[in-house]
Amino acid sequence: DSGVTQTPKHLITATGQRVTLRCSPRSGDLSVYWYQQSLDQGLQFLIQYYNGEERAKGNILERFSAQQFPDLHSELNLSSLELGDSALYFCASSVAGGGTEAFFGQGTRLTVV
Amino acid sequence: GENVEQHPSTLSVQEGDSAVIKCTYSDSASNYFPWYKQELGKGPQLIIDIRSNVGEKKDQRIAVTLNKTAKHFSLHITETQPEDSAVYFCAASGDFGNEKLTFGTGTRLTIIP
């Protein structure tokens, strides 16, 4: 168990809908990262938050947004969902920013039908 | 931005033999290089990491080497066992402004009993 909790584990929704994925980082970790992993694909960086503020942005679609709350949990919001958004979404957390061990949650498997 | 290349994409070895996975990175400012193991349906698990001020690190059957000049780093698994079968990802990150982990495309390792 990495200590990073992601909910829900599975999500099935229709095209055009909006969903929210939740991540609780390890206790004491200030940095949260979101990654997308499509079938048989690598891990694509979406966005990073550090202590409540956005720190870095990757290839995140405009339909997607995220935030980190004062209690350091983070949410990834995906809207106007398309079939191609079906993927595993992982959250990782680390104590600080770069150069520190990052631990991943078990992921949320999103299926858009 | 950082680009990490990983080879091979698939690797099959006999149980008990050694496995080597190689990665190259492009950004000379990267200074942290972790390796993750991902089993089917699970999140990536950190198995070993190395920092740029170290050339080699070993943990039981797993070792990682780093050549900063050539921007190469490698994962070595000795005395392979069936439970080593998984997808392995290398990654690189740096300090502020380059904190996110940039992942390689993964290596599917199969241990043949």
pLDDT in tens, A46-78: 999 999 999 999 989 999 999 999 999 999 999
Could you check whether the bond before residue B8 is cis, i.e. omega within 30 degrees of 0? yes
Measured in whole angstroms, the distance separating CA B57 from the mean position of its chain's CA atoms is 12
Sign of CA dihedral A111, B4, B8, B14: negative
Chain B closest CA to A27's CA: distance in Å? 17
Q: Three-class SS of residue B62?
A: strand
Asked if residue A37 lies in contact with residue A101, where contact means CB atoms within 8 angstroms, the answer is no
A interface test, pick of B32, B93, B100, B102 with most A CB neighbours within 10 Å: B100
CB contact under 8 A, B100 and A99: no
pLDDT over threshold 80, residue B96: no
pLDDT over threshold 90, residue B81: yes
Closest Cβ–Cβ partner in B45, B94, B102 for A45: B102
pLDDT band at A97 (very low <50, low <70, confident <90, very high): confident
